[in-house]
Chain A
Amino acid sequence: MVKKSIHEINGRIRDGSVNVVTAEEMVDIVGELGAEGAAKEVDVVTTGTFGAMCSSGVWLNFGHSEPPIRIGKLWLNDVEAYSGVAAVDAYIGATQQSQSKGIEYGGAHVIEDLIRGNSIDLHGTSPGTDCYPRKVIDTTINIYDLNQAIMLNPRNSYQKYNAATNSTNHTLHTYMGSLLPHHGNVTYSGAGVLSPMHNDPNYETIGTGTRIFLGGTQGYIVGEGTQHSPAAGFGTLMLKGDLKNMSSEYIRAATFEGYGTSLYVGMGIPIPILNEDLAKATAITDDDIVTNLLDYGIPSRDRPVLRTVTYGELRSGSIDINGKEVPTSPMSSFKKSRQIANELKDWIKAGEFFVSMPVERLPTTTPCNAMKQSNVDLLVVDIMSSDVTTIHEDAGFHDAAKIIMEKQFNHLPVVDSGNHLVGIVTAWDISKAVAKDEHDLVKDIMTRKVVTTSPDEAVDISAFKLDSNNVSALPVIDSNKHVVGIVTSDDISKLLARRH
């Protein structure tokens, strides 16, 4: 059994005899030499990842103004930062968006601008106190004017992440990018074979105090990240590093259409090969890492798992979903991940970076529970109208007009001979048909792309669907596409009126 100490490895780094390889290179080395041979040969394995890390931000200290101010509210380039801590400290979060530019510019962009040395407009307000009499401050700062700019990522470097697709009939805009209708594409994140935490899944060398690569400089692991869920293979890390030494090469602002801003963060962890178990762990391949393919078309915490998939399949360019070849896109950059693993390797070989053991190991049993919700959410079944009449697609539009008039509602779901929902007709569609005098069948004038809901969907989701699709009613369908009710914007208005 091979056994090495951190002290021994750091000695080799100091005298230049250290053998460092990337996690990608380690696969073949273990394949050739076996775990024991590889453990003898290799001292450190470097990892890397570069992708969207929404849970990122920077602590800033501006120094005191004259007269002093205890900033209560703060905006940097019109992006709000949290300053409810002491007088001139603030935390700028990556996903906070500009009040004037929206998702075009957010906290992530402020962070990238700081790294680039660009000027930032600061606007702060305060109620004013005896010791901090100033009520408003307006100034322009850059990173060199700050006492501290410390990046702190509450949740970074997911051990792995779910792959995403979309079963609905419309494009979804998510933090996993654009998901095309009818499973038109699949997106995934993470660096697979180079993924830092997957190369030390038992967290033997990864924990509080571990020295790492963060944003192009040396950083540290603070401890477990938020939502750390090791049992499921979804461990996370909290990281810190000095933004003043970081590079825009490895910290990049991002905007996800229809979702918001995020920060691409480059980080890498060196895994000291202390024994053959670690050598074996760092030989993990893309084919060994399995994740779930989730349907983001279901706007719920518990999205259905369509299938499991390996990173090997995802990185091949396409995967099979129900017999269909679907193209895949990574959201993180493998090229940059590889660049990070190689840069970290170069630092170690050059004697500029020493490996460390954690002062405390990461927990391996932390639960990741759902939010406790003390108020019971209403479901569609609680507010829908079950008294819904449908019409056959081959019926004449005069019949549809008659039903709408008699029943005094504006929306008429259209069904086929198997009673499956195929469209919807509104009073407006009928008015148009009459005005144009062109059609006589319901199927010629109906809207075929119907936005629907189900009885067990939360009312909040239905309200979001009505709003985002700019429609005023949703047919409620069961799993067989049979219409069991209808929810209108009137139902939701009445519900809200009752709440207030």
Chain B
Amino acid sequence: MMIKINMAADIVTTPILAEAIIETGSLLNISQAHFDPIHGEVVAEIPSDQLVKIRDALVSRGAEVVVLNTPIHRDEEECVECGACISVCPVKVFSFADDWSIEADSDKCIQCGTCLKMCPHNALALGQ
């Protein structure tokens, strides 16, 4: 499952991710990270059964943890099934079925949003 970890400016320079990994022994796979002077945001994949452990370890260090349980959403009315989204997705969420329909494996989605910008018909959205 995917989680988003938000860190305020006061903890952004401390190694809370590393501490949480060592403490819980959980493998946290970072798929996106954005840092600027005022905050940090990390999107990571974790084993579902370790959510509580990891969340507690991070929250106790001042981070905010949000479960991203609503990955990419495709509006089938808007989508013309061109396939523009296929080549820009870093984790291959989209593919063509045998009849050239679009298939989306949402479980793979790391919510980077690249496909949203690629879609000419505004048919893709995150967090709906």
A interface residues, Cβ below 8 angstroms from B = 50-52, 173, 177-178, 180, 184-187, 252-257, 262, 264, 317, 326-336, 338
The listed residue with most A CB atoms (<10 A of its CB), out of B81, B82, B100, B121, is B82
* Extra contacts besides A257-B118, A264-B82 (10): CB < 8 Å: A187-B84, A187-B87, A253-B121, A255-B120, A262-B120, A317-B96, A329-B84, A329-B85, A329-B118, A335-B100
- Nearest chain A residue, comparing its CB with the CB of B118: A178
Whole-angstrom distance from the CB of A500 to the nearest CB of chain B? Answer: 37
Structural contact, B88 and A178, CB atoms closer than 8 A = yes
Whole-angstrom distance from the CB of B83 to the nearest CB of chain A? Answer: 5
Chain A residues, CB < 8 A from B86? 317, 327-329
Contact of A333 among B80, B87, B118, B122 (CB under 8 A): B80
B36 CB-CB contact with A under 8 Å: no
Instruction: Tell me the bound Cα distance from A186 to B86 in angstroms.
Output: 10
Q: Is the interface of B mostly helix, strand, loop or mixed?
A: loop
**Contact residues of B between 20 and 43, Cβ < 8 Å to A:** none
Chain A residues, CB < 8 A from B96? 317
Structural contact, B88 and A252, CB atoms closer than 8 A = no
Q: Mark B54-76, 1 if CB is under 8 A from A, else 0.
A: 00000000000000000000000
Structural contact, A186 and B120, CB atoms closer than 8 A = no
Q: Mark B77-95, 1 if CB is under 8 A from A, else 0.
A: 0001111111110000001
Instruction: Tell me the bound Cα distance from A334 to B81 in angstroms.
Output: 8
Chain B residues, CB < 8 A from A327? 86-87
Instruction: Tell me the bound Cα distance from A136 to B101 in angstroms.
Output: 48
Instruction: Tell me the bound Cα distance from A335 to B79 in angstroms.
Output: 11
Chain A residues, CB < 8 A from B100? 333-335, 338
Structural contact, A333 and B82, CB atoms closer than 8 A = yes
B53 CB-CB contact with A under 8 Å: no
Instruction: Tell me the bound Cα distance from A177 to B87 in angstroms.
Output: 10
Chain A residues, CB < 8 A from B122? 255
Chain B residues, CB < 8 A from A51? 82
Instruction: Tell me the bound Cα distance from A338 to B81 in angstroms.
Output: 12
Q: Pick the 6 closest A-B CB pairs, nearest first.
A: A329-B87, A185-B87, A254-B120, A327-B87, A335-B100, A257-B117
Whole-angstrom distance from the CB of B13 to the nearest CB of chain A? Answer: 13
- Nearest chain A residue, comparing its CB with the CB of B94: A329
Instruction: Tell me the bound Cα distance from A127 to B61 in angstroms.
Output: 69
Structural contact, B88 and A180, CB atoms closer than 8 A = yes
Structural contact, A336 and B84, CB atoms closer than 8 A = no
Chain A residues, CB < 8 A from B83? 329-330, 333-334
